Amino acid sequence: MKQYSQASDSSNISLPKSWIRRHPIFTTFALLILVLFAALFLYFWLRPYFSTFDRSEKGELSYSMPSRNGEYTAEIYGMPYGGAAGGVTMWVDVKKTNAPEDSTVKTIYRSEHHGNNHLEWESENTLRIENWNEYTDESITLNTDEEIYDGRGWACKSLRMKDQYVRCLAPEK
């Protein structure tokens, strides 16, 4: 005859393992995928807020124009991106030419290159930047001391660039 343990003896009763403990490899893999997607989402969502005009001296000098009094030089740079299906980002830098010890370079313009570009100094600190084609015109006149233009609009949202300009301009979306 079999003997059954009494109902009051609960030491032999074991609870079933949770689903996570029964599938540790799948759980770990799922958590890693979730963390990866969260990191990618945060990167692309927060990237405009930490954007700068820094391109680490990359790009090809396309055109240079000294100011009327020769104190400043404006330079257009082009930097290709995306391979065969990509495009070119256009940058305009303004730097002092009379003071080699003060080699501060200020980037005042970033946009997609549209084909026709030109620089023209309207006054000692006002620069006309032309960047257009038959479909798009991102030409603008900027005060080089106070204004910047970003074709993406990221510089205007950037927390890192707030102290580098008085007025930030971007295309209307």
User: Mind listing the pLDDT tens digit for each residue in 39-85?
Assistant: 999 999 998 888 888 876 788 999 899 999 989 999 999 999 988 88
CA dihedral of 131, 144, 60, 113, whole degrees rounded to 10: -20
What is the number of structural domains in the chain? 2
Query: Do 144 and 162 belong to one domain?
Result: yes
**What is the band of 10 on the pLDDT scale with cuts at 50, 70, 90?**
low
Angle at 47 (CA atoms; ends 150, 136), nearest 5 degrees: 30
Cα dihedral sign for 83, 74, 93, 128?
A: negative
Q: What burial class does residue 58 get, using C-beta atoms within 10 Å of its C-beta: 0-12 exposed, 13-18 middle, 19+ buried?
A: exposed
Residue type, 92: V
9 domain residue, yes or no: no
70 plus 45 within the same structural domain: no
Which of 147-151's residues contact partners 24+ apart within 8 Å by CB, and which partners? 147/108, 148/53, 148/107, 148/108, 148/109, 149/108, 149/109, 149/110, 149/111, 150/53, 150/109, 150/110, 150/111, 151/110, 151/111, 151/112
Say whether pLDDT at 29 is over 70: yes
Which pTM value belongs to this model?
0.78
Q: Please, what is the average pLDDT of the chain?
A: 89
Per the structure, the complete domain to which residue 38 belongs is given by 19-50
**Do 43 and 64 have their domain in common?**
no
Tell me the pLDDT tens digit for each residue of 128-165.
999 999 999 999 999 999 999 999 999 999 999 988 89
Residue 129 lies inside a defined structural domain of this protein: yes
Q: Is residue 156 part of a domain?
A: yes
